[in-house]
Structure formats: C-alpha cells, structure tokens
C-alpha cells in the first residue's frame, strides 16, 4: 500500500479523527495515503455504492484553499475520459469538504521512474493516453496547464491517468496566495492574465546592420529547374 507522503506541515492533532467521524456514516476510511496542511487522501470504501474509492478531504474550512478545492472538484466532474480520474460524489459535512473518485490500482509515474527508464513502447502508449485526455479536456474548454510525474498514475494495465487539475485554467481564479518561507515577502497570487500565452507566430531575427547585403531574384522557370541569380552589394 502507498505510504503517507511526508510534508513539512501537518493538520492540528485530532482534526483527522474529526474527519473520520464526520464521514464514517457513508464511507469507511481504510488507509491514509497522502497528507498535507489542509488536504488528506484516503483509500476507502463507499458503503452506498459498495466499491473501493479514493476520498480526498479538505480539512480547513476557513482556509483560502477551500474554494480552490471545490472548483477543482467541479472541473474534474466535467470530464469523462479513461485517462482522467472520475469523480463519483462530492459534498460538505461538518467543517469538511470531500470528493470521492475511482481508486487507481497502480503507482505514480514518479515511483515507476525510480526503477529506471521505461521501454519505448510503454512511453508511446502513455503519450497516446495523455494526448487523448488533453484533447477531451480542450474540447470542453479546460486547459490542464500542468502534468507532473507525482500526480500522474499508471494503473496495473499500463494506462496513464491524470489525477490533478488544480492548476487548470478553470481553477486559476481560485488559486490561493502563494506560500513562501520568506517572512518579508508579500503573499501574492499571480492573476491568470499575467501568465504567458503560447503563440504560433514565427519570430525572425531583425535584419542585419552590416553594410554588406545579398539581394536575390529568381529567374523564370525552365521545365522543372529553378535558377537563382544573386548579386552582392556593399
């Protein structure tokens, strides 16, 4: 079973027990998989749907990340593709917000790469999975913007599954202020409009300022050959 992610900050003592009690009537939380300051990921059992699920719980009701968490849940729910994690249910109970999704048997790409490079056929198959997922999301106006090995899962069949849409274009307006270790630095959030946009236009270097230039003119076509006459001026 996946071990709990080690992080610098952990929730206050007793908060996880409160979350367990709040969710217990509907879900059985079997194993804590990952933990951060305001989020916890469990492998659990849905008592209503009678199946294993992943349960992501947002712990801090007053934290600015709550709206971010809910917006990511809405974004995931708009997509229905085998290479993107499916959301089954979501809601708020007591002071906690949660969402359940399909439990993925497998490992992250980061864990797989620690064992060494993957064979080229597997890489090509993974790329096809990701491109199909991106095409599905783009058709619905969702730009993922970021896919990292730690949140890209590889299931037991070798298929890639995207699990993290926190930095998609739909979620950017809800991005909380950036945390920093520098107490003198301002906690600011970069507005979506300030992110660079990709351009398809080709950029050419400016004309050379040298005194020497080359001027070419093409002569008339003769059969299938093309002649070029050039003259150099100073």
Residue 199 lies in a domain: no
Tens-digit pLDDT profile for residues 54-83: 999 999 998 989 999 999 999 999 999 999
Residue 224 lies in a domain: no
CATH number for the domain harbouring residue 62: 1.10.510.10
Tens-digit pLDDT profile for residues 83-113: 999 999 999 999 999 999 999 999 999 999 9
Q: What's the number of CA atoms in the CB half-sphere (13 Å) around residue 196?
A: 3
Residue 46 lies in a domain: yes
For the cut 90, the answer to whether the pLDDT of residue 135 exceeds it is yes
Task: Give the structural domain span for 72.
Answer: 15-175
Nearest CA-CA partner of 53 in 81, 96, 89: 89
Please state the rounded mean pLDDT for residues 205-216. 41
Residue 193 lies in a domain: no
Residue 7 lies in a domain: no
Counted domains in the chain: 1
Residue 128 lies in a domain: yes
Residues 6+ apart with CB under 8 A from 5: 33, 34, 35, 36
Residue 103 lies in a domain: yes
For the cut 80, the answer to whether the pLDDT of residue 1 exceeds it is no
Torsion, Cα 73 76 78 84, to 10 degrees, reads -170
**Looking at residue 11, what is its pLDDT?**
85
């Amino acid at each position: 079973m996946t071990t709990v992610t080690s992080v610098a900050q952990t929730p206050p003592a007793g908060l996880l027990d409160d979350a367990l009690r709040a969710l217990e009537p509907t879900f059985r939380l079997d194993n804590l998989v990952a933990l951060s300051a305001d989020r916890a990921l469990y492998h659990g059992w849905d008592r209503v749907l009678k199946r294993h699920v992943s349960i992501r719980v947002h712990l801090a009701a007053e934290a600015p990340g709550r709206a971010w968490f809910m917006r990511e849940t809405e974004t995931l729910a708009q997509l229905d593709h085998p290479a993107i994690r499916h959301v089954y249910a979501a809601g708020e109970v007591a002071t906690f917000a949660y969402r359940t999704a399909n439990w993925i048997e497998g490992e992250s790409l980061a864990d797989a790469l620690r064992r060494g490079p993957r064979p080229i056929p597997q890489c090509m198959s993974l790329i096809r999975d990701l491109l199909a997922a991106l095409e599905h999301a783009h058709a619905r106006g969702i730009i993922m913007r970021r896919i990292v090995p730690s949140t890209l899962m590889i299931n037991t069949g070798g298929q890639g599954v995207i699990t993290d849409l926190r930095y998609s274009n739909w979620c950017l307006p809800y991005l909380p202020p950036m945390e920093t270790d520098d107490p003198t630095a301002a906690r600011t959030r970069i507005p979506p409009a300030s992110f660079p946009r990709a351009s398809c236009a080709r950029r050419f270097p400016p004309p050379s300022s040298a005194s020497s230039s080359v001027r070419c003119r093409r002569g008339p076509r003769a059969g299938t050959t093309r002649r070029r006459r050039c003259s150099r001026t100073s």
